[in-house]
Amino acid sequence: NCLMDACLLNMIGIQDSSLKLRRHLFNYIKANETAIHDMWRYSRVAFDQELGIDLEDSILEEEWKQIVEETEVVDGGRCKFLQSCHIFAAANMLKRPIIVLGEEYINTANESNIQLNDIIGVYLTLLSASINTSHYPILLAYVSSHFTPLVMLKKQSSASTTSDTTTALQSSLPLSFLSNSILVRDLPVHYLNYIEQRSLS
């Protein structure tokens, strides 16, 4: 349950030990299943088409069923690993964008760069009106298949007109990562439709 733990630690400094947030996520996905499913399916099909893959509808729907089931708390508190779609759902449930930083490729104890890391990126609150959401994102790191909360540092700055020291929030965060140790690439924004993708171009 490290995704929910990391989100809650970032917001209020405690873990989701009771699994209440995890259960809320499951209920939120069930209540908004049509909207989340449609955005997931659009993104999944678009990604597959880039790779020349054309999956049958039955396979996609079976995968979606598994995504929903993975969110549920079972057997007295056992939880399954959450993935990209769950982060998108969590951002919309909490009504706060979630930004996940990490390495471009996923590594294991025995192998490195075994597959692209599709977890990192920006998850926006696309299912709610902007006026009803917070514009302060939840910052997470995803390393070694584990989510960790990140917090912005406060730095001491001296005003030029006074000797008093004031605290200023360092509000800049580069939404990019180093690709293959050579190129700087923008973090992907997940689960956008065609029109939303064009608006970012």
Q: 132-187 pLDDT, tens per residue?
A: 999 899 999 998 888 999 987 766 655 544 444 444 445 577 777 766 666 777 88
The dihedral of CA 190, 140, 90, 73: what is its sign? positive
How many Cα atoms occupy the beta-carbon half-sphere of 109 within 13 Å? Answer: 0
Q: Is residue 63 part of a domain?
A: yes
Counting Cα atoms < 13 Å in the Cβ hemisphere of 100 gives: 29
| pLDDT the model gives residue 4 | 96
Task: Say which residues have a Cβ less than 8 Å from residue 119's Cβ, sequence separation at least 6.
Answer: 83, 84, 87, 100, 102, 142
Question: What's the whole-number average pLDDT of the chain?
Answer: 85
Lookup: tokens for 88:
């998108």
CB-based contact 104:177 (threshold 8 Å): yes
138-143 and 98-102 strand pairing: parallel
Q: What is the pLDDT of residue 201?
A: 65
The span from the CA of 168 to the CA of 170, in Å, is 6
Do the domain assignments include residue 106? yes
- Helix axis angle, 57-71 to 84-94, nearest 10°: 60
What pLDDT is attached to residue 104?
A: 79
The answer to whether residue 18 is domain-embedded is yes
> What local confidence, expressed as pLDDT, does residue 108 receive?
61
Determine the 3-state secondary structure of 149 from DSSP: strand
> 17: domain range?
2-151+189-200
> What is the pLDDT confidence band of residue 69, given thresholds at 50, 70 and 90?
very high
pTM score of the predicted model: 0.85
Report which of residues 193 and 121 the model is more confident about: 121
Number of domain units in the chain:
1
Phi-psi map region of 13: left, alpha, beta (phi>0 left; psi -120 to 50 alpha): left
- Does 164 reside within a domain? no
Residue 17 domain-assigned (yes or no): yes
What pLDDT was estimated at residue 161?
45
Looking at the chain, the whole-number percentage of residues with pLDDT higher than 90 is 53
CATH number at residue 27: 3.90.70.80
